[in-house]
Structures are given as C-alpha cells and as structure tokens.
Chain A
Amino acid sequence: MNIKDLPEESLFTPGHTACAGCPAPAIVRNMMKIFGKDTIVYTPANCLLVFSGTYPYLAWRVPYLHEAFENTAACISGVARAYRKKGKKTLVVGIAGDGGTYDIGIQALSGAAERNEDVIYVCYDNEAYMNTGIQRSGATPYGAATTTTPAGRKIAGKLEHKKDMAEIMRAHEVPYVATLSISHPKDFLEKVEKAKETEGFRYLHVLSPCPTGWRFDPAKSIEIARKAVDSGMWTLYEAEYGEITNIYKPKKKIPVEEYIKGQGRFRHFTPEMIAELQKWVDRKWKRLYGELPES
C-alpha cells in the first residue's frame, strides 16, 4: 500500500476547524480511506472532537459517537458487541488523544485489551492536553514546557520522561500493536491496512506534532514528525500477540538536539537537559534497534 493506492474519495470533510498545520486531520482522513465506509468512529473529549464535530456540523461521513473522556475503550467495546450480535462486521474505531489514553482512559483501555474486544483503538499523541490549553500529560516528554510545567527559573519544564504507552499495550499481548508516524506514508498505510485486516483488539499509536502547543511554524508539522523518528524520540514498530514482528529503523540517527530545535516548548533547554533527554532516547533506541550507531 502506498499513497497512490489510496482512494480519492474522502470520509472526512474539509471545513473542520483544526489549527492551521495540525496533522491530526490528515492522520484521520488517510486512516478513514483505508477503514472505508462500513466504519463507526468514536472519540472522547479531545481536539479532534472539537474541530470535527462542533454541533450541528460534523466532518465525518460515517456514523460518529461521542461519550465521556475516560471510557473510549468501554464504549467501543459495547458498540462492537452490539454489531457482532447483529451479525454485522462493521469496523469499530475509537480515536482518543494522549490524555484520554495515557492518563484518563487507561483503565477502560486495559480492560478492553485484556478482553480482546474486536475494535481498533487509535491514540493520536500530541504529547499534552492541547484541547484545554496545553497541560502536561503522561505523554509529555522530559523538559517540555506546558502551562502546568512552565519553564521557570527553578524548575524548567516537565521533570519526568514520557511514558511508553505502546509497550504497555504490547504487554497485553493483543493481536496487533503498532506505532505510526504520518511522516512515513508507506509504513503508516501498511499498518492501518494490517489493523483493518486483523481481528480482535488492535492498538494504533500515532505521533501528531502540535504547532500550537509545541510552538513551531505550522508548515513544519510533517518535518518535525520525521525528525522525531530519525532521532529516536519516536520509534516505529509492529507487534503481534506481544512479539515484535517488524521494526522501521531510521537510516541515520540524528542527535536529539536537532529534533528539539525550532520547538518553543524546548527553548529553555540547557546542555545538561539535552544530555538527559539524549540518554533517554539512547536507552529506548538500544532496547528496540540494538547497539547505537557510532557517532
């Protein structure tokens, strides 16, 4: 599957009110092209809900549901069971943000994964609560400035590292777990296709750089996603029943300093902070890709 194999017809309309340069609409639009018409989408509270479903408007051309923040996985479980009971194969997709996945939605998510519900759960990860005005979440990387972890004189940005949510989901040994980046279209589309074909619980985790919250030029969203992959801040892999089956390894590893450049949320970084973040990236890199390349 490549870009040119995608259908022209879109199931997600223009006219939505996402910030200019937000890659989330491109992420969901291209996913929907593969999921197809026989799909029902659920979102909890997140930016996507607000920019794609402001009453009475809706950007989706498929049935669309909204419920509370914490119960995405519980709701899609129920919807899927109802469809299956009626003998229908309709694809049931829940799309939550990082706050609704890492923090608020994790218990429902863990439960649904353990029960192996026949759903696709998508986490689009912009590394903070952007919808409510950039508050830190479990997904916010070390040192990033948010409104609840401001870059002050004594404490500069978030003190803790990002939680590895995809690994938590892999540990559930569900049929399919994949991490995706919109900057790598072929890899992205193949994983979405694979998720569609798989039965049982599927977890897709997409990085979604946020021009407003990360404070960078809106034209650079895709470029920053690409740098996230090349630096190892974001890793791309697939896992089936807990076993890693496919790894996308960047051709050349770039220093984390190059990734954080141009992002206002890291502007206050000292050389010590860069070193701390690099250490975290290197640990993650070694775990997935093996030895570090010689620098």
Chain B
Amino acid sequence: MYEIRFHGRGGQGGRMAAEAYALAAFLEGSYAVSFPFFGAERRGAPVRAFTRVDDKKIRIKTQVYEPDYVVVLDETLIETEDVLEGLKEDGMVIINTAKKPEEVRLSKPVKCATVDATSIALEILGRPITNTAILGAIAKATGRVSIDSIEKAIIEKFGARLGKEAGEKNAKAARVAYEKTLVGVAQGGKAFVPRKKWLPTVEEMPIGGATPAMETDAGLVGIGSFIENKTGDWRTFMPIIDKEKCIGCKFCWFYCPEGCISMEDGKASVDYDYCKGCGICANECPVNAIEMKREVRT
C-alpha cells in the first residue's frame, strides 16, 4: 500500500485531485480510496486531502499520517507549515512551484519533484486551478500510475462535472505538466516554529463560554483577534494601485471584503498582509487605476 497526502487551499481542487488520482489507480486494477479532511475551511484556506492505493481491499479509514508522497498544490504552504510531517524515510514531495527541486528549501533534504502548475493552468485553463496539472507531475515523479490513466481519470471525473471540453483541457494540463516535471533533491534545514495554540484550562474558561479579549502566549484571542490571522498568502494575483491615476473616490475601500485598503494622502493603499487577491477593487475602480498582476513569490 502507498499513501498520498495533498496540501492545498480550498477551491484549488485538492479533493478532486485526490479523487482523480484514486480513479487513475483504480483504472489500472488497484484498489483505491480518497477523502478530504473535513473542517470549516473556506475557499483559500489551507486544506488537506488523502489517497490510499493498494493491490487488496483497503480497510483503514483514518487520515494519512505517514505518507509515501506529499503533494503541495500551493507553494505558499511550504512557508507556513512543515509539509514533510510524518513523510516516510524514502518518501517524496511533489510541489507546484516555478523553482527547481534543488532550489526548494524544506525542513529536511528529501526527494522532490517540481512543476510550475500555476503557469500551466493559467495558460491552458485560463484559471489558476492547479489540481489537474499536478496529477501529471505525480505520474512522472512517482511512476506509480501511467499518464494515460491519469488523462482517462481526468476526462471521466472532470468531464462529468464540467463538460467534455473542460475535461479534455484539464487532461492536456496534466500531460504538459508530466512533460515539464523536474525530479531532484530539495534542500533541508528550514526551521518551523510550531504554532502555539491557546487552550484555556477549566479555571481560565469564563462562565457561559464567553471569550473576552485577551493576550495569550499564542497571541490575541477574543474580540478583534482575527487580525492575528494573515490571509495574504491566499493570493495568486495582487492588486497594484497606480497612485497617479487614483482619484481617492474610496469605492475600493468600501467594497474590499478584507477591509485591507486604507487611504494615504487621499490615495488608496493595500495592506498585502491580508489581501486575498479577489480582484473586486480592480473590477470596481472607476478610473482603472488598479491592475491585478500575477504575484511572483521569492
């Protein structure tokens, strides 16, 4: 049996990738199961999904804690959490990034495959949905299933949901990614500080389950504390404001769902710590002073 853990963001299709991979393995005569981690995640928040493949019936129903392969659909995730957690000794990580495997830095040196799935998806699908491209990379990097089966699985799974044409385009994205995937070894040595979680003791818990505004060793909790949660890494495109063009009408300031636009000297300014890159500001700007640009992260 081998196990895969997918790390993605809500809406990137990590669950669909896990399911399509399971279908590809099934088409080759294996037993396969897949399921997502269920939580209160919105589109853009970090999520996980799992696939198990075996040549006999699979009875185990838990999450995957010690994967053979880790698949990362969004490279910002390798900055904030240790995706290698529990990875088997000779395991491999497959990452969506424009970098070469040798340029990727993780908590320890491991076998690593990289592919710029976002660019491939934007070019072929017109949207930064990377779940099908990454499947091609898995086929190439692991050799566990053939790219032909991956294509068949994508056409069957995505075609049924999005229509025949979309199914074929997604299969093409997988094929292109298959051809462009690089395999090597990532660098190690990146340190992760585990996030502290505020867990009150019984004595600390106020009557009625209310949470007053408090500063704890895990940061702020209670009223106004969501400010601790930086959502800037959800973004694929970033708004760039042309201050010359900006007329200070404040429409973007009003419409921004994050409330991360402020006015500086009468001109709009974005707090990129929180901007999720939805593009509403650019769409609503009456003088087209805002442009959405593909963000290159270093």
User: Footprint of B on A, CB under 8 Å?
Assistant: 3-4, 6, 8, 10, 12-26, 29-30, 47, 50-52, 54-64, 182, 185, 211-212, 217-223
List the count of A-B residue pairs having beta carbons below 8 Å apart. Answer: 141
Is the CB–CB distance between B222 and A58 below 8 Å? yes
A20-B259 contact given A56-B211, A58-B222, CB 8 Å threshold: no
Q: Quick one: which of B254-278 are within 8 Å of A by CB?
A: 254-260, 262-263, 271, 273-274, 276-278
Contacts of A57 on B, CB cut-off 8 Å? 221, 225-226, 228-229
Contact of B259 among A21, A29, A51, A58 (CB under 8 A): A29
Residues of A within 8 A of B10 (CB): 19
Known contacts A8-B263, A51-B42; A17 and B231 CB within 8 A of each other: yes
At the interface, yes or no: B193 with Cβ under 8 Å from chain A? no
A26 touches B42 (CB 8 A): no
Name B's A-contacting residues (CB within 8 A). Answer: 10-11, 40-45, 198, 211, 216, 218, 221-231, 234-235, 249-251, 253-260, 262-263, 271, 273-274, 276-280, 282-284, 292
Note all chain A residues with C-beta closer than 8 A to B211. 55-56, 58
- Residue of A with least CB distance to B261: A14
* Interface CB pairs A-B, < 8 A, 9: A3-B253, A8-B262, A15-B229, A15-B230, A17-B45, A56-B225, A57-B228, A219-B279, A222-B284
Chain A residues near B271: list those with CB within 8 A: 14
A30-B198 in contact given A13-B227, A222-B284 (Cβ < 8 Å): no
Q: Is the CB–CB distance between B43 and A212 below 8 Å?
A: yes
Other 9 A-B pairs with CB < 8 A, given A15-B274, A60-B223, A61-B223: A8-B262, A12-B259, A13-B224, A19-B10, A26-B257, A47-B42, A57-B229, A58-B225, A220-B283
| Nearest CB on B from A112, distance (A) | 22
Q: Are A21 and B198 in contact (CB under 8 A)?
A: no
Instruction: From A4, A8, A17, A64, give the contact of B42 (CB < 8 A).
Output: A17
Min Cβ gap A210→B in Å is 10
Asked if A21 and B278 make an inter-chain contact with CB atoms under 8 angstroms apart, the answer reads yes
Q: Kindly list chain B residues whose C-beta atoms are within 8 Å of the C-beta of A3.
A: 249-251, 253-254
Q: Is the CB of A18 within 8 A of B42?
A: yes
How distant is B292 from chain A, measured CB to nearest CB, in Å?
Answer: 8
Asked, given contacts A14-B259, A26-B257, A218-B278, whether A56 binds B221 with beta carbons under 8 Å apart, the answer is yes
The interface residues of chain A lying within 8 Å CB-to-CB of B218 are 56
- The answer for the CA separation of A63 and B222 in the assembled complex, in Å, is 10
Complex alpha-carbon distance, A38 and B272, angstroms:
30
Q: How far is the CA of A56 from the CA of B257 in the complex (A)?
A: 21
